[in-house]
A and B are shown apart, each in its own frame.
Chain A
Amino acid sequence: MGLRLVLVLAASLAAGAVQAAGHPADNPYPWIAAAYVVKRDGALLWAGEPDARLPPASLAKLMTALLALERGELEAPVTVGRSVLQATGTRIGLKPGEKLRAGDLLAATVVRSANDACRALAEHLGKTVAQFVVAMNARAGALGLANTRFADPCGHDRDGQYASAADLIVLAEQVMQHAEYMRLARLETISFKTQDGGRTFALRNTNALIGRYPGAIGLKTGYTDAAGTCLVALAERDGVRVLAVLLNAPNRWWNATGLLDRAFAAPR
C-alpha cells in the first residue's frame, strides 16, 4: 500500500513534467509521430500526446543502460549465458561461454542496440531477465514514470509493456547524467574484443544522425513492428542542447532533422 502511494505521488509529479508552469506545450507538428516531446536546454518546447502509452521498442534499453551505469563495475567480466541464443532482431552474434567486459556489453547495447548483448547484460545485472525487469520497473517508479512499464529489458514487444514520450524524456535526462553513456552514444563506430582476445566486434551506430546531423550526440534508436520507428535524439550547437523523443515516427530521420533544426531556431 505504501509503495503504491509512493508510486501514485511519483506519477503525479511525472504528469507535471511535460508542462511548463502549468501551460500545456505547443503541439505544432502532430503529424510527425504518434507521440513526441522536444526540450531545449531542459525547457519544454513542444509536445504531442506526451502521456500516451506506447510500445517503446529499444528505447527500453535506456533503462537497462541506466541500471548498468548506476551499478558501475563496467570492468567486471561477464560470461555470456545460453539464453543469448534466444535473442532476436539486431544481434552481434555472441556465443554462450564467451567472456566480455560489462562495459563492452553496454557499448553494444547503446551503440548497436544489440539484443544479445542487452540480454547478457540484463542477466549479469539481475541474475535473471525476470528479476532485472523488476529492477527496471522499480527504477521507473522511483523516477516517477507513471506511464511506463517494462516487460523486457531490450524492448521486444510484450504484453503490458509501454512508455510515454514524456517518461522517456525523463529517463533520457537521467541517462545523460552519465558521462560513459554520452561518450558511447556519440560514437559512429565501436570495436571491442572478447576477454580472451579471440573475437573482435566492430559495430556501427544505429543512430543515423551521428556523423550526419551537425551537433548530434545521441541518444537511442528503436524499432519493433508494434512500436514503429522510434528515436531519442540529442544534439548540441553553440552550447544549446535539444533533446527530442519521437515514438512511432515513420520518417524519423528526416523529421528529426527538421524538428531539431526548428528547435534550435525557435524563438527564445
Chain B
Amino acid sequence: MRTSFFGCALLALLPLFSSHAAAQPATGEMWEISSQMNIPGMPAGMGAQTQRICGGDDPERSAAQNKDKSCKVKDRQQTANRVTVTMVCTEGTMTIDQQYNAARTEFKGTMKMTSKDGGMTVNMTGRKVGACNVQEAKREREEKQAAMKSQADAGMAASAAAMKQQSDMYIKECNAAVEGMQYQRLGVYSGCYKKTSKDCQAIAQSLPEAAKTCSTRTAEFCTRFQTQDGFVKAKGDEEAAKMCGVTTAAIKAAQCPRAAQGGSLAFLGAYCPVEAKPLAQEHCAGRDYTSKMGGQYATFCASYLANADFEKRGRPAAPAAAGQAQQPAPAPGQAEQPKPAPSQAEQAADSVKEGISQGLGKLKGLFGR
C-alpha cells in the first residue's frame, strides 16, 4: 500500500519544478532525484534510490490527469524558490515541500505522507541534468506503470491462489477431523471454537471461508463427540471435551445407561465398567490377550478388558509403597515379592479378569518371560 502511495507521490512531485517547460509540453526537464524513505519502526534510510525523472507539467493539471482520480490538490503555496503542495489522496494526505537554488537547477525537499497504515517521510535532493521529451517520458512511465501493475496483479493473483490453497487445506483437515473424530486435525480452529479473542478474530479474518467451514465442522464434531460412537472414535479425548465445553465424565454418565440398553458395545466395554460387568461376565470370561477373539462381543471384551481397570469410578488409590524407594533392595525372590494392587471387591480386576489371571498364572510356569 505504502509503495503504491509513494509511486503516486513521486509522479505528483515531478511538475513542481518544471513550470518553465509548461509552455512547450514536448520539452521537459530531466531531473536526477535521490530519495530516502523513513518509516517509523523501520530502519532509517530504507529504500534509498536515485532515479531520473522527466518533468513538464503543473501539479493541478497532473492531479486532474491522474487517471484514477485518487489525489486532489488541497493547497498550493509558491514563492520564488519554494513550493509547498498539500494533496488529499484516497490513501491519505501528502505534503510536499521543495526549495530550489536561485538558478532552479537543484532542489531539496521532503514529502510527508500520512495514511491509515501509518506515516512516512521521504527526503529528496534533485539536480537538473538536461532536457527530455515529456511525451516520450510519459509513455515510458505509463509502460512502466502498466508493467508494474501487471506484476502487482500477478502477485495478487498468486497470493490469492496461495490463500485459497491454504484455505482448502484447512477445510480438508477439518472435514477429516470430523470424519475420523481426530480432534488435533481441527488445528488452530479447535482453539477458537466459540471464542472471540483478538487472535481468533484475526484467524477468522485471514481465511474467512476456512474459518466458517471449520467452525461448522467443529460444531458437528462436538455434537458427535457426545454420542457413543463418536466418543469411542475420538477415544474419549479430554482435550476435545474441553474444546466442546463438556466433560468426559458427564458424557459417560449420560451415555453408559443407554449403552447398556442396547447401545454401542464398544462404548459400553471401554467406558462403562459397572454397566458392562454383567455382559463381561457372560461373554468375556476365558479370553486372554492373545486369544483370537471373534464374534459380536470381540470388540466389547477387548475394550472392557483393556479399560475396566482405568474406568472404575471412585476407586481408591492403592496404598503407595511408602519409603520403598529409600529402602535397601528387598530380599530377592520370595518373602518380599512386590505385591500387585490390593484386591477389593469393586476393584478393576473384577471376577472376570481375576478368573483369567488365575488361569493364566497356572499356565505361566515358564520362567523368564
- On A, residues with C-beta under 8 Å from B are 27, 29-35, 48-55, 57-58, 88-90, 113, 115, 147, 149, 154-162, 164, 206, 208, 212, 221-229, 247-251, 253-255, 257-259, 261-262, 264-268
Q: Which of B238, B332, B339, B367 touches A223 (beta carbons < 8 Å)?
A: B367
What is the CA–CA distance of A268 and B237 in the complex, to the nearest angstrom? Answer: 11
Given contacts A161-B332, A265-B235, A265-B236, contact A30 B289 (CB under 8 A): no
Say whether B235 contacts A261, CB under 8 Å.
yes
Main secondary structure of the interface of A (DSSP, over half): loop
What is the CA–CA distance of A223 and B361 in the complex, to the nearest angstrom? Answer: 11
Does B338 interact with chain A (Cβ within 8 Å)?
A: yes
Given contacts A222-B369, A248-B340, contact A253 B307 (CB under 8 A): no
Q: Which of B321, B338, B340, B342 has the most CB of A within 10 A?
A: B338
CB-defined contacts of B325 to chain A, threshold 8 Å: 49-53, 147, 164
CB-defined contacts of B341 to chain A, threshold 8 Å: 30-32, 250
- A sample of 7 cross-chain residue pairs with beta-carbon separation below 8 angstroms, ordered by A number, consists of A30-B318, A31-B315, A52-B338, A54-B338, A212-B289, A248-B338, A259-B310
**Extra 9 A-B pairs, beta carbons < 8 Å, given A53-B327, A221-B369:** A49-B324, A52-B324, A57-B368, A115-B368, A157-B333, A223-B367, A251-B357, A255-B310, A264-B235
Does B334 interact with chain A (Cβ within 8 Å)?
A: yes
Could you mark each residue 227-239 of chain B with 1 if its beta carbon is under 8 Å from any beta carbon of chain A, else 0?
0000000011111
Q: Which of A27, A250, A265 touches B340 (beta carbons < 8 Å)?
A: A250
Say whether B369 contacts A90, CB under 8 Å.
yes
Which of the 9-residue segments B56-64, B82-90, B165-173, B347-355 touches chain A?
Answer: B347-355
Given contacts A31-B318, A223-B368, A249-B340, contact A53 B329 (CB under 8 A): yes
Say whether A155 contacts B337, CB under 8 Å.
no
A-B contact count (CB 8 A): 163
A140 CB, nearest partner CB in chain B, Å: 13
| Contacts of B209-256 to chain A: CB distance below 8 A | 235-239, 242
Q: Which of A50, A212, A226 has the most CB of B within 10 A?
A: A226
Given contacts A157-B332, A206-B369, contact A247 B338 (CB under 8 A): yes
CB-defined contacts of A54 to chain B, threshold 8 Å: 330, 338
CB-defined contacts of B330 to chain A, threshold 8 Å: 53-55, 162
- Residue ID in chain A nearest B335 by CB atoms: A226
What is the CA–CA distance of A254 and B270 in the complex, to the nearest angstrom? Answer: 12
What is the CA–CA distance of A249 and B239 in the complex, to the nearest angstrom? Answer: 28
CB-defined contacts of B357 to chain A, threshold 8 Å: 250-251
B331 CB, nearest partner CB in chain A, Å: 7
Given contacts A34-B340, A53-B329, contact A268 B239 (CB under 8 A): yes
Chain B contact residues (Cβ within 8 angstroms of A): what range?
Answer: 35 or more
Say whether B338 contacts A159, CB under 8 Å.
no
Does B320 interact with chain A (Cβ within 8 Å)?
A: yes
Q: Which of A30, A89, A250, A251 touches B369 (beta carbons < 8 Å)?
A: A89
B221 CB, nearest partner CB in chain A, Å: 15
Q: Which of B320, B324, B333 touches A226 (beta carbons < 8 Å)?
A: B333
What is the CA–CA distance of A102 and B14 in the complex, to the nearest angstrom? Answer: 87
- On B, residues with C-beta under 8 Å from A are 235-239, 242, 288-290, 305-307, 309-310, 315, 317-318, 320-321, 324-325, 327-334, 337-342, 347-349, 353, 357, 364, 366-369
Say whether A58 contacts B369, CB under 8 Å.
yes
Say whether B338 contacts A34, CB under 8 Å.
yes
Q: Which of A29, A33, A212, A222 touches B310 (beta carbons < 8 Å)?
A: A29
- Residue ID in chain A nearest B240 by CB atoms: A265
Q: Which of B349, B353, B364, B368 has the most CB of A within 10 A?
A: B368
Say whether A155 contacts B349, CB under 8 Å.
no
B276 CB, nearest partner CB in chain A, Å: 14
What is the CA–CA distance of A155 and B239 in the complex, to the nearest angstrom? Answer: 41
Q: Which of A35, A149, A249 touches B329 (beta carbons < 8 Å)?
A: A149
B195 CB, nearest partner CB in chain A, Å: 18
Say whether A226 contacts B332, CB under 8 Å.
yes
What is the CA–CA distance of A150 and B309 in the complex, to the nearest angstrom? Answer: 32
Q: Which of B235, B289, B329, B338 touches A160 (beta carbons < 8 Å)?
A: B329
Given contacts A49-B321, A208-B290, A249-B340, contact A160 B332 (CB under 8 A): yes
What is the CA–CA distance of A251 and B356 in the complex, to the nearest angstrom? Answer: 9
Q: Which of B338, B347, B369 touches A113 (beta carbons < 8 Å)?
A: B369
Q: Which of A164, A229, A250 touches B349 (beta carbons < 8 Å)?
A: A250
Given contacts A154-B368, A164-B325, A228-B340, contact A32 B309 (CB under 8 A): yes
Say whether A89 contacts B324, CB under 8 Å.
no
- Residue ID in chain B nearest A230 by CB atoms: B369
- Residue ID in chain A nearest B305 by CB atoms: A254
